[in-house]
Chains A and B, each alone.
Chain A
Amino acid sequence: MTTRGIPAFTRRVTDQAETLVKKVGGGSLRESLRRRGRAVRTLGRGFVISLPYAWLLAFFLVPFIIVLKIALSEADIAQPPYTPLWEWVEGQYLNIKINLGNFAFLIQDSLYLNAYLNSVKVALISTVICLIIGYPMAYGIARARPAKRTILLMLVILPFWTSFLIRVYAWIGILKNNGLINNLLMWLGVIDSPIVMLQTDFAVYLGIVYSYLPFMILPLYANLEKLDETLLEAAYDLGCRPATAFIRVTLPLSMPGIIAGSMLVFIPAVGEFVIPALLGAPDTLMIGRILWDEFFGNRDWPVASAVAIALLLLLVIPIVFFQHTQARSGEAES
């Protein structure tokens, strides 16, 4: 889009230049000007494309390399707390020491694998719950009248105006033994002793679903809002009951929204630290928590970095693969 104005502009400039050249009786300046215009255009396009690459390079690749470097070193009681990857010995030997022990350690100690699997399990279940709750909500918003729709969308986004941390802390107040729910139930006489909710898996799921629900609703809404209602009418017209029409028309057509929403919930939920730390039991095994403990408890930066890199690879590779196949089937369609 940005470059679209340029060709027209260059053409105008070349035309003007050419008439000028004709007036003074010069040769064909047009060709050289056109070549220059093309060069400018290529440069402009290159600049626009390079911006996101520069961003990714500075804020993703460089930190990743730093973390990778730490992961390949050994823990040390020093400042910083790991051994350097390379050093000069006697002023002439470059001594490179790569330690793969941290990664080996991750495989040997079942703690890490269990924590990873548990994280994936928690994230997966949370994603499914978010989908089950979020889909009807997104559908309802997409089908509401435009004025009402704006209000409903505002309500979905509203929690973002409060700090995430404060909202999670608020759940402690609601869930704890002498918290809002237990006090209310006891006052009503439904229960005699408080139900333990805080520091359970239930609280972790509740926290994650509560926090990430908008990330499921918004892409689903964006998708469902575009859904042409006459397609459903066509399905009814051809003998579909509403439930069948939903399964055979709405659901397949909203697949991109389901995938986008699930990605947005699943990926951050796997590495989630704050919610299990605040709402979960102390023994809740989640990879984010392990990371925290390794970094700040054990001060073992290399192992922590290895965990981070393993997590990244285990998450990124399946997603990239998935998107690749998606893109390919998308290409085949168009």
Chain B
Amino acid sequence: MPSFTSFSTFEPWKDPGQTPYVRLERVTKKFGDFVAVNDVSLDIYRQELFCLLGASGCGKSTLLRMLAGFEEPTSGRILIDGMDMADTPPYERPVNMMFQSYALFPHMTVTQNVAFGLKQEKLSRSDIRSRVKEMLELVKLDRFAERKPHQLSGGQRQRVALARSLIKRPKLLLLDEPLAALDKKLREHTQFELMNIQEQLGVTFIVVTHDQQEAMTLATRIGVMDEGYIAQVGTPTEIYEFPASRFVADFIGSVNIFEGSITEDEPDHVTIRMRDQEADIYVDHGVNAPPDARVWAAVRPEKIHITRNRPEQSANVIEGTVKEVAYMGDFSIYLVGLEGDRTIRVTQPNLRRGDPERITWDEHVFLHWLPSSIVVLTE
């Protein structure tokens, strides 16, 4: 179960005995010449909350629509619970979808919208009534049961859509940008609500989003997509701290990337000479790269320290001048100019209130970081 206390113990993808609930095998989708989804293979396990993260047009929605059955893969196989979905129309899949536009039926009340899926199952009227009531209570909409969608606010509509997609108790719920239309406060609130509901019902969620914050908060694992490919699959921590490529490092959060080449390659440490700076980067772990290969060293802004005095260490230090300071409240962003027109982004928590010693514009500063803070990327 993905919750804060048991987060680390829910890792079915590490257990070879587990069979995935959803399996994509080399799935490709082309629209004419345009390749929307390119050779994607993916395993998603029961009760996971899997986020497909990517910029708009990266193919994440197409992937979701293929799972729902609205699009056919051009090649490859989709298996849900071990069954090949190739010839299964959307109305026979054990899957429900929450649409980005919510797609609520405008001519039906909230109750009728939520009951719609159950009516197709030919349940008795009293069963339908009690299950709809239960569901409306879960999403806290019982007061609005007789309203029509256009009489509801965005957040209420979103909850109707969620209730409607959950009412059939699907094993797999697909959510297409479920929170995109909500404002920031409501979005954060709903994120936690979604996680609660997922925990209560034990449904497998696949969420499509372009919002990395959302993916980070919700997901057990994230699949980062770029132009139809899956760039990396991993837990939020893995994706953030151990990005597999420059694209992922750059897409998730902000990052400073130094190009360079390896000058010292040992199993327990590596030294990288920066291409455009008179400085060395010392990394405290081995790197899997051919000698003299071009590599990129990535370091996150919050892992860089900024000081007025030269630190004692010799590697992992660069000098520069503060060009911009942005005060964000809980932290400040410094843009530090280096030689050769490079700018480095550094964030520092504002630990002291109204700090008079704070580093400010045009100061000469030293930037330094720990040998463990660097991620070396070869692509």
Q: List A residues at the B interface (Cβ < 8 Å).
A: 228, 230-231, 233-241, 244, 248-249, 252-253, 333-334
Q: What residues on A are CB-neighbors of B116 within 8 Å?
A: 235, 238, 248
Cβ contacts B58-84/A at 8 Å (1 or 0 each): 000000000011100000000000000
Tell me whether B105 and A237 are in contact (CB under 8 A): no
Which of these binds chain A: B12-20, B88-96, B204-212?
B88-96
State A192–B104 Cα separation when bound (angstroms): 60
Quick one: which of A230, A238, A249 has the most chain B CB within 10 A? A238
Q: Contacts A239-B121, A334-B150: A233 and B164 contacting too (C-beta < 8 A)?
A: no
Q: Is the CB of A239 within 8 A of B91?
A: yes
Q: Which residues of B contact A334 (CB under 8 A)?
A: 150
- A249 proximity list for chain B (CB < 8 A): 105
CB contacts under 8 Å to A, within B265-279, are: none
Whether B117 and A231, one on each chain, are in contact in the complex, defined by CB atoms closer than 8 angstroms, is no
Most chain-B CB neighbours within 10 Å: which of A233, A234, A235, A252?
A: A234
Instruction: Tell me whether A253 and B107 are in contact (CB under 8 A).
Output: yes
Given contacts A230-B103, A253-B106, contact A236 B89 (CB under 8 A): yes
Cross-chain contact A233 with B168 (CB below 8 angstroms): no
Bound-state CA distance A333–B106 (Å) is 10
| Contact A237 B120, beta carbon cutoff 8 Å | no
Task: Check A233 against B117 for contact (C-beta < 8 Å).
Answer: no
Q: Give A235 to B68 CA distance when docked, in angstroms.
A: 12
Chain A residues with CB under 8 A of B165: 237
Secondary structure type dominating chain B contacts: loop
A21 to chain B, nearest CB (A): 45
Contact A238 B164 (CB under 8 A): yes
Residues of B within 8 A of A248 (CB): 116
Instruction: For the complex, give the distance between the alpha carbons of A334 and B150 in Å.
Output: 8
Decide: A333 and B120 in contact? CB cutoff 8 A.
no
B31 to chain A, nearest CB (A): 13
* Contact status of A228 and B91, CB under 8 A, knowing A238-B96, A253-B106, A253-B107: no
Q: Are B99 and A233 in contact (CB under 8 A)?
A: yes
Chain A residues whose C-beta falls within 8 Å of the C-beta of B213 in the assembled complex: none
Q: Which of A230, A231, A241, A252 contacts B91 (CB 8 A)?
A: A241
Known: A236-B89, A238-B96; 6 extra A-B contacts, CB below 8 A, are A230-B101, A233-B99, A234-B164, A238-B91, A238-B117, A248-B116
Q: Once A and B bind, how many residue pairs between them come within 8 Å at the CB atom?
A: 57
B97 on the interface (CB 8 Å rule)? yes
B169 at the interface (CB under 8 A from A): no
Instruction: Name the A residues within 8 Å of B105 (CB-CB).
Output: 231, 234-235, 249
Interface residue ranges of B125-176 to A (CB < 8 Å): 148, 150, 164-165, 168
Q: Evaluate whether A240 and B99 lie within 8 angstroms (CB atoms) in the complex, with A249-B105, A252-B107, A253-B107 already known.
A: no
Q: Is the CB of A239 within 8 A of B89?
A: no
Q: How far is the CB of B379 from chain A (nearest CB, A)?
A: 38
Neighbouring B residues of A231 by C-beta, 8 Å: 103, 105
- Do B90 and A236 have beta carbons less than 8 Å apart? yes
A87–B89 Cα gap in the complex (Å)?
80
Decide if B96 touches A237 in the complex (CB within 8 Å): yes
Q: Which of B101, B117, B150, B168 contacts A228 (CB 8 A)?
A: B101
Instruction: Give the chain B neighbours of A233 by CB distance below 8 A.
Output: 68, 70, 90, 97, 99, 103
- The CB with the most chain A CB atoms within 10 A, among B97, B105, B117, is that of B105
Q: Would you give 27 A-B contacts (Cβ < 8 Å), ordered by A?
A: A228-B101, A228-B103, A230-B99, A230-B101, A230-B103, A233-B99, A234-B99, A234-B105, A234-B164, A235-B105, A235-B116, A236-B70, A236-B89, A236-B91, A237-B95, A237-B97, A238-B96, A238-B116, A239-B91, A239-B117, A239-B120, A239-B121, A241-B91, A244-B120, A253-B106, A253-B107, A333-B148
- B82 CB to closest chain A CB, in angstroms? 21
**8 closest Cβ contacts across the A-B interface?**
A239-B120, A238-B117, A234-B103, A236-B90, A230-B103, A236-B91, A237-B97, A252-B107
Contact of A237 among B90, B107, B148, B150 (CB under 8 A): B90
In angstroms, Cα B101 to Cα A318, docked, is 39
Chain B hits for A333, CB < 8 A: 148, 150
Candidate in A231, A239, A253 with the most chain B CB atoms within 10 angstroms: A239
Which residues of the partner chain B approach A237 to less than 8 Å between Cβ atoms?
A: 68, 90-91, 95-97, 165
* Cβ 8 A contact of B168, one of A235, A239, A252: A239
CA distance A224 to B99 in the complex (A): 21
User: How far in angstroms is the closest Cβ of chain A from B78?
Assistant: 16
Complex Cα spacing A303 to B255, Å? 91
Instruction: Report the bound CA distance from A235 to B89 in whole Å.
Output: 12
CB distance from A244 to the nearest CB of B (A): 7
Q: Return A331 CB to nearest CB of chain B, in Å.
A: 13
Residues of chain B within 8 A of A236, CB atoms compared: 69-70, 89-91
By beta carbon, the residue of chain B nearest A333 is B148
Q: How far is the CA of A315 from the CA of B247 in the complex (A)?
A: 70
Interchain CB contact under 8 A, B101 and A240: no
